[in-house]
Structure 1
Amino acid sequence: MSTFDLIVYIFFLLFVAKLHLVSCRGSFSSDPSNRQQLDKVLDLPGQSFNVSFASYSGYVTTNKESGRALFYWFFEAVEDTSSKPLVLWLNGGPGCSSVAFGLAEEIGPFHIEKDGKSLYLNPYSWNEVANILFLDSPVGVGFSYSNTSSDLLSNGDERTGAFFCLSLFSVIFVVLIYVDSSRSLISISYIAAAENLEFLLQWFDRFPQYKENDFYITGESYAGHYVPQLSQAIVRNNHNTGEKVINLKGFMVGNALTDDFHDHLGRFEFMWSVGLISDQTFKRLNIVCDFQSFIHSSELCEKVQDIAEEEMGDIDLYSIYTPPCKANFSRSNHPQSGKRFGILRIAYDPCTEEHSTVYFNLPEVQRALHVQDKSPSFKWETCSDLVYDNWKDSPRSVLKVYRELLRSGLRIWIFSGDTDAVIPVASTRYSIDSLKLPTVGPWRAWYDDGQVGGWTQEYDGLTFVTVRGAGHEVALHKPKQALTLFKSFLSGKSMPKLDLFSDS
């Protein structure tokens, strides 16, 4: 084949692929304003108060062939929505719902009363200062679903074969790279886009008025993988297209799974230092589990962790100084309840998880959120055992991703509640220390209303913040301080110092 013939063939493939992508993305052919109105939440059960902002919920199809669809719930900022940043929140697990945790008991504007039917306003909601988008990811989590049952058994950090809509592009780029391998026109790994990136691209098609807004990604726990990985995918996608398709400015993660070795090392050290486990068990954990995967531990490591669990007794590992839920709410279906110290969330406050389970299984709530008319019939769960138990790949570390993104100019913050025994402060400090970043702002206390809110240190390209007295879900335990943290992050300013007032 001559060079001319090859070029003509490539352009033909590009044309066919474009048609294929349009067929996959139904949003291209519909009016965005009409799609928005269809998703608008008009009458939310249990809401007995008026608000000044609108919310939207529904599905974005990420793979038409297999019927994969991710559920979102979007809240406008309380005021000046067009000028406020857009922030995506992700929960972890893997397998836990961002609607269940991030929205319903942490940073969302609506929280659920103990009756499981009524709502109340959260005065420290993050939509006070930003537009907030909650996403249930991957399929099988919360209200997100797939019409292909095998999809629920093949989730992982990297779903390289997930998007049939992009498969033709992969073929094209293989040809391009073959033609000019020395210049490496594009990396194949960029084409195997994460499902969350595909969701965002389609969501911005549906809500084009937010494309120019500053965009940030936040999350906690296993989202310590999701958030930097998605940020990397966006940065690479923007680079490859030659334009800022998504106006990403930065990301922030809390009590985040980052590096399995450092996370284990810091966790065992924390549990021993606060007196939760014996000297003997501490030594055995370090010998047996230090180099184990957090998600796929060995049988021997799990046995030693079972011993540690016995020694600790009936406490909430996610918040060691607060009482666990004692209501008639079974935790036996949570794969990390009672063993392996996993990343799944155990009920707190003390039973906020129970309230969410009742509320989001109400038929009238599912109708209001446009769930029942689009998704298969299923029981809503805060966390999916099926997704967790069948998680395929979990990289031992995302520090390499950090090293790449630190060169991109993004604003990167990491925060940590200091009463969490799952991903404790010590774990995060070990991970950050391994990056060997120069310190530009030394360790110091930060303040909220004249009281120490926690401690912070600023590095070249990264800011670390602890929140005093907060557990794994920082905004659940310390909502006011969490909002102060969020405001500082968005502004790019250092955490507040103590204001000293003179009597004169």
Structure 2
Amino acid sequence: MLRNKLDDLAKFDLFFSREMINNSVYNQIKKECNAIDENNYFFNLKAIWSATCKNLMEQAILVAFKTDANNYLPLKLFDIFRDPCAENEQDLNLGKQVVELITEVDMCSPLRAQCYFNLPEVQRAFHGNRTKLSYRWKGCFTANFKYNKADMDLDMLPALKNLLQQSIPITIFSGDQDGIIPAVGTLEHLKKLAEELNIKLTKEEAWSFRNQDGGSKYVFGDLLTFLTVKGGNHHVTASRPSQALDIFTNFVINWMH
């Protein structure tokens, strides 16, 4: 997340580009909610949406996922096209088989990991839980992970700007099905950053992975690269692990040379 409040708006850019909301809904949100001076973005400036704006956003999300408030799951934003895992840990503990793959992606993998790392034989194998805790291990994603939500409003572009000014190369990638931090918003952030540094967009093209469409690639000068990952969700390394490894490997090799 580079700029939280602008990523909130980018959700609806994503929905509109994928025809999940119509032109009327989209224009209403842009008109009511887009009163933000991006050049006046400070680390402690939190987006304060009007009641009308918040209502429009909430309704647009329900429209995008063809549901109502009673049936909407926020987890749907992690992957706008794949359904979240509908099972629970108790199913695995009872030996029930949950659906393994949904369109080539195991949406229940965090659940499986939680079950796996609680198996006594597994804990013995890696010498875990040697103090015999009275409660089960939970991953941060499923354990009501506590963090300071104010940190979400921190502007990360100054940090990236500082790195680029020191000639440190940066590669950023984003799943094109991520509704939490949409790629369309990240691209706009990076375009603005490049403009501030007087860096031109030198390349915009598709990139391939194993002779298939991997996504889009944007190169700014010789230090900043942004890639979208086709079919990737909020967790690119889980939804498109091979592509993520390919991006990381190429980045490291390019950086070393």
Of the candidates 164, 169, 191, which is equivalent to residue 433 of structure 1?
191
Shift of 1:480: 2.3
* Structure 1 pair 270–403 and aligned structure 2 pair: CA distance change class (3 A): same
* Structure 1 pair 392–458 and aligned structure 2 pair: CA distance change class (3 A): closer
Counterpart CA distance in 2 for 1:387 and 1:449 is 40
Question: After superposition, what is the alpha-carbon deviation per residue over 1:370-398, rounded to whole angstroms, capped at 9, x for unaligned?
Answer: 4423696543333242504x545333411
* Structure 1 pair 295–274 and aligned structure 2 pair: CA distance change class (3 A): farther
Does 2:215 align with 1:454? yes
Shift of 1:466: 1.5
Matches within 5 A, 1:76-475: 257-279=1-23, 281-283=25-27, 285-286=29-30, 287-288=32-33, 300=51, 303-311=55-63, 312=65, 313=67, 316-328=76-88, 349-373=106-130, 377-382=134-139, 383=141, 384-385=143-144, 387-388=146-147, 391-435=149-193, 436=195, 437-439=198-200, 441-460=202-221, 461-475=223-237
Shift of 1:402: 1.0
Shift of 1:274: 1.5
Question: After superposition, what is the alpha-carbon deviation per residue over 1:113-133, rounded to whole angstroms, capped at 9, x for unaligned?
Answer: xxxxxxxxxxxxxxxxxxxxx
Equivalent residue, structure 1, for 2:99 = none
* Structure 1 pair 378–281 and aligned structure 2 pair: CA distance change class (3 A): farther
**Cα RMSD (Å):** 3.4
Equivalent residue, structure 1, for 2:250 = 488
Contact 2:172–2:226 (8 Å) recurs in 1: yes
Contact 1:318–1:422 (8 Å) recurs in 2: yes
SS across alignment from 1:406: helix
Counterpart CA distance in 2 for 1:459 and 1:303 is 37
* Structure 1 pair 357–423 and aligned structure 2 pair: CA distance change class (3 A): same
Shift of 1:320: 2.2
* Greater share of helix: 2
Letter of the 1:480 partner, please give it: S
Contact 1:439–1:457 (8 Å) recurs in 2: no
Question: After superposition, what is the alpha-carbon deviation per residue over 1:140-182, rounded to whole angstroms, capped at 9, x for unaligned?
Answer: xxxxxxxxxxxxxxxxxxxxxxxxxxxxxxxxxxxxxxxxxxx
- For structure 1, which segment, 285-294 or 401-410, has the greater mean C-alpha deviation from structure 2 after superposition? 285-294
Letter of the 2:144 partner, please give it: D
Larger radius of gyration: 1
Shift of 1:442: 1.2
Percent identity over the alignment is 29
* Structure 1 pair 448–408 and aligned structure 2 pair: CA distance change class (3 A): same
The number of aligned residues is 219
Counterpart CA distance in 1 for 2:239 and 2:121 is 30
Shift of 1:473: 1.7
SS across alignment from 2:187: helix
SS across alignment from 1:491: helix
Gaps of 5+ in 1: 1-256, 331-347, 494-504
Counterpart CA distance in 1 for 2:240 and 2:46 is 28
Contact 2:89–2:115 (8 Å) recurs in 1: no
Question: After superposition, what is the alpha-carbon deviation per residue over 1:372-429, rounded to whole angstroms, capped at 9, x for unaligned?
Answer: 23696543333242504x5453334111111111122222101111122221121111
SS across alignment from 1:409: coil
TM-score using structure 2 length? 0.70
Gaps of 5+ in 2: 91-104
Contact 2:206–2:213 (8 Å) recurs in 1: yes
Contact 2:174–2:229 (8 Å) recurs in 1: yes
* Structure 1 pair 408–374 and aligned structure 2 pair: CA distance change class (3 A): farther
Counterpart CA distance in 1 for 2:185 and 2:27 is 17
Equivalent residue, structure 2, for 1:237 = none
Shift of 1:283: 4.4
Question: After superposition, what is the alpha-carbon deviation per residue over 1:186-232, rounded to whole angstroms, capped at 9, x for unaligned?
Answer: xxxxxxxxxxxxxxxxxxxxxxxxxxxxxxxxxxxxxxxxxxxxxxx
Shift of 1:483: 2.0
Shift of 1:262: 3.1
TM-score using structure 1 length? 0.38
Counterpart CA distance in 2 for 1:276 and 1:469 is 16
Equivalent residue, structure 1, for 2:100 = none
SS across alignment from 2:15: helix
Question: After superposition, what is the alpha-carbon deviation per residue over 1:224-254, rounded to whole angstroms, capped at 9, x for unaligned?
Answer: xxxxxxxxxxxxxxxxxxxxxxxxxxxxxxx
Structure number with the bigger relative contact order (C-alpha 8 A, sep ≥ 6) is: 2
Letter of the 2:21 partner, please give it: I
